[in-house]
Amino acid sequence: MEHESINSWIWDGVYYHPHLFGGLMLTAALLGLSTSYFAGIAVPSLPYSWYSQGLFHKKTREKKRIRVYMDGCFDLMHYGHANALRQAKALGDELVVGVVSDEEIVANKGPPVLSMEERLALVSGLKWVDEVIPNAPYAINEQFMRSLFNEHKIDYIIHGDDPCLLPDGTDAYALAKKAGRYKQIKRTEGVSSTDIVGRILSSAEHTLVSEKGDESSLNHKQCEGSHISQFLPTSRRIVQFSNGKGPGPNARVVYIDGAFDLFHAGHVEILKSARQLGDFLLVGIYPDHTVRECRGNNHPIMHLHERSLSVLACRYVDEVIIGAPSEITKDMIITFNISLVVHGTVAESNASAMVGADPYAVPKSMGIFRLLESPKDITTTSIAQRIVANHEAYTKRNAKKTKSEKKYYAEKKYVSGD
């Protein structure tokens, strides 16, 4: 039941992925016909029957759709996860994503930062995801693998190039590999949940130090140094995440801006609401210095390019401005033919405090500004606070993970792929 309601909720999104062909495959199986039979035969030679009409005509000329599966915890989801799922999707036609249950994460890694509901919202919000399976097991056992192949009609199980070992030391994907139904993708460099937790914890430490009035010991360089990111933004990555399309003729362009730091379920929901008000959603992302000026030296947690990729990966977003001004000018409105400027009611980026004036004064005077009720009460700060509140557990969990991450980087070799 839960599974069903989640599915229909995804289909409720802006992009509808028709699932008819899955139904047709089932019909083919019931008739005892192989898919290659359908693909190989010329449509006119089929005897007239119910299935030779309409949609079927068109679909018979298409190849069987390959369904691929990838799973993960997706705790503190970042563009590395998004990129992995993008690569997985490229290995098939339909991407099914298993989201590991809270209980399994607690048992295997320690407490998750995000709830199942939040993790589902984030994964379903990605433009490459077609279906989600909530409460997936942490390691694929034989029973679950069979249900993937038989019930979910999965053709291939996908995993990154880092080894995934079961507690007994065996390869978690041995079964799938033996069945010839395993494919590998390249790990995305430069980010991991461990790294992000580390950034949040060190940012909180610096904030604490400065609140104690020990300002002198805290120079700017130190702050920057604690946030070293291994991420190297390339133009190709940005292209891979882009839709590559501008607004169509007569499109109604909606604009929303913000920091979008630590991209979370609240962001997905507000972007969805904004997209529903028009045909094209343009998102302005504040540069790092703007976020720093509004929220303090230890912000943003994620850099401009990292934040831009996270927003671009969202299915409701059509285009982003990488480094948008906090004040919306008449020129911007004309350049992008913006019909409506929106702003969420739950937002922590207080640009007006910085600019000293209302950043939305121009769109307001033109009568094209709308305050949008934020569907969720989550902010970047509230997520960071969960980690800080659970500081000891996460520090421990992180120390362990950091060691294996260091080992990975020390031993890493070039792997081809994108």
Ligand X SMILES: *[C@@H]1O[C@H](CO)[C@@H](O)[C@H](O)[C@H]1NC(C)=O
Q: How far apart are the first and last CA of the chain?
A: 37
Residue span binding ligand X (CB under 6 A) among the ranges 115-123, 221-229, 244-252, 294-302: 244-252
Which residues, in sequence order, are bridge partners of residue 100? 136
Least Cβ distance, residue 339 to ligand X (angstroms): 3
- The reply to whether 216 sits near ligand X by the rule CB under 6 A is no
CB of 363 to ligand X, least distance (A): 13
User: Closer to ligand X at the Cβ: 43 or 357?
Assistant: 357
Query: What one-character-per-residue DSSP string does 91-104 give?
Result: TSSEEEEEEE-HHH
Task: Name the strand (E) or helix (H) holding 407.
Answer: helix 391-411
Does 250 participate in binding ligand X (rule CB under 6 A)?
yes
Residue 382 binds ligand X (CB under 6 A): no
Least Å from the CB of residue 249 to ligand X: 6
The reply to whether 135 sits near ligand X by the rule CB under 6 A is: no
Contact letters (x/-) for ligand X, 342-361, by CB under 6 A?
A: --------x-xx--------
- Of the two residues 352 and 395, which places its CB atom closer to ligand X in the complex? 352
* 249 touches ligand X by CB under 6 A: yes
CB 362, CB 329: distance < 8 Å:
yes
Compute the least distance from the CB of residue 376 to ligand X, in Å.
16
Strand 338-344 with 253-258, pairing: parallel
Q: Which one, 234 or 337, has the nearer CB to ligand X?
A: 337
Q: How far is the CB of 338 from ligand X (least distance, A)?
A: 8
Compute the residue count for the chain. 418
Give me the long-range contacts of 25-30 (CB less than 8 A, separation at least 24): 25/64, 25/65, 25/153, 27/51
Find the binding residues for ligand X in span 167-186 (CB under 6 A): none
User: Which structure tokens are listed for 256?
Assistant: 């929303």
Tell me if 327 sits within 8 A of 359, measured CB to CB.
Answer: yes
Q: How many residues bind ligand X (CB under 6 A)?
A: 8
Number of Cβ within a 10 Å radius of residue 362: 18
The answer to whether 133 touches 152, Cβ cutoff 8 Å, is yes
Residues that bind ligand X (CB under 6 A): 249-250, 252, 337, 339, 350, 352-353
